[in-house]
């Protein structure tokens, strides 16, 4: 189930990222300088936010697919990822299971002596990169909000 939800979120985030890119380009191409900075910042915030969500969802999809592969079929134990990333060929026979995590994104193989090693299913830089993109999106959104000028209604003339 997590696999399917992650896949849907990933696909939707690709659409949103495309919309953010197009809106940024349109704001840059238009010849209206008034409010251009705010529109560009909003488009970039949408783009980076969607990339952050999509990248994280991609990691969730990869972990979900690996969990599915590790729990179904005749060749599923030990996990194929654990067999491929074993530190030594003899350690494959000592794999007792796996541990998947979503924050940070990880897929670790458990050995019978209690130690673990990363299966390398998800790159170790993915979670920090997505957090950095998310923080960038928030900064751009706050920047866009602060550059918009608000019109204050003029005070009505006071009758004397």
Q: Is residue 154 part of a domain?
A: no
Q: Is residue 38 part of a domain?
A: yes
Its domain, for residue 122, covers 2-147
Q: Is residue 156 part of a domain?
A: no
User: What is the distance between the alpha carbons of residues 9 and 54, in angstroms, rounded to a whole number?
Assistant: 7
What secondary structure does DSSP assign to 9-32, as a single string?
HHHHHHHHHHHHHHHHHHHHHSS-
Q: Is residue 155 part of a domain?
A: no
**DSSP letter, residue 93:** G
Q: Is residue 127 part of a domain?
A: yes
Q: Is residue 101 part of a domain?
A: yes
Whole-prediction pTM value? 0.76
Q: Is residue 153 part of a domain?
A: no
The model's pLDDT over 72-93, given as tens digits with 9 standing for 90+, comes to 766 667 777 877 777 777 777 8
- Number of structural domains (the chain) is 1
99 class by beta-carbon count within 10 Å (0-12 exposed, 13-18 middle, 19+ buried): exposed
Residue 151 has pLDDT above 60, yes or no: no
The model's pLDDT over 91-149, given as tens digits with 9 standing for 90+, comes to 778 888 888 888 888 888 888 888 888 888 888 898 899 999 999 999 999 988 888 75
Q: What is the pLDDT of residue 159?
A: 67
User: What is the distance between the alpha carbons of residues 90 and 113, in angstroms, rounded to a whole number?
Assistant: 14
**Helix/strand/coil (H, E, C) string of the chain?**
CHHHHHHHHHHHHHHHHHHHHHHHHHHHHCCCCCCHHHHHHHHHHHHHHHHHHHHHHHHHHHHHHHHHHHHCCCCCCCCHHHHHCCCCHHHHHHEEEEEEEECCEEEEEEECCCCEEECCCCCCCHHHHHHHHHHHHHHHHHHHHHHCCCCCCCCCCCCC
Q: Is residue 87 part of a domain?
A: yes
């Amino acid at each position: 189930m997590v696999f399917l939800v992650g896949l849907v979120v990933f696909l939707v985030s690709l659409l949103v990222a495309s919309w953010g890119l197009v809106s940024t380009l349109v704001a840059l191409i238009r010849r209206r300088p008034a409010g251009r900075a705010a529109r560009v910042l909003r488009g970039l915030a949408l783009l980076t936010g969607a990339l952050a969500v999509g990248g994280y969802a991609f990691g969730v999809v990869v972990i979900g697919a690996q969990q599915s592969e590790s729990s179904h079929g005749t060749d599923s134990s030990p996990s194929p990822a654990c067999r491929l990333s074993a530190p030594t060929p003899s350690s494959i026979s000592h794999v007792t299971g796996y541990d998947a995590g979503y924050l940070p994104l990880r897929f670790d193989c458990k050995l019978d002596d209690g130690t673990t090693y990363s299966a390398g299913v998800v790159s170790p830089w993915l979670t920090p990169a997505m957090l950095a993109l998310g923080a960038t999106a928030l900064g751009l959104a706050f920047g866009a909000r602060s550059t918009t000028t608000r019109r204050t209604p003029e005070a009505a003339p006071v009758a004397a």
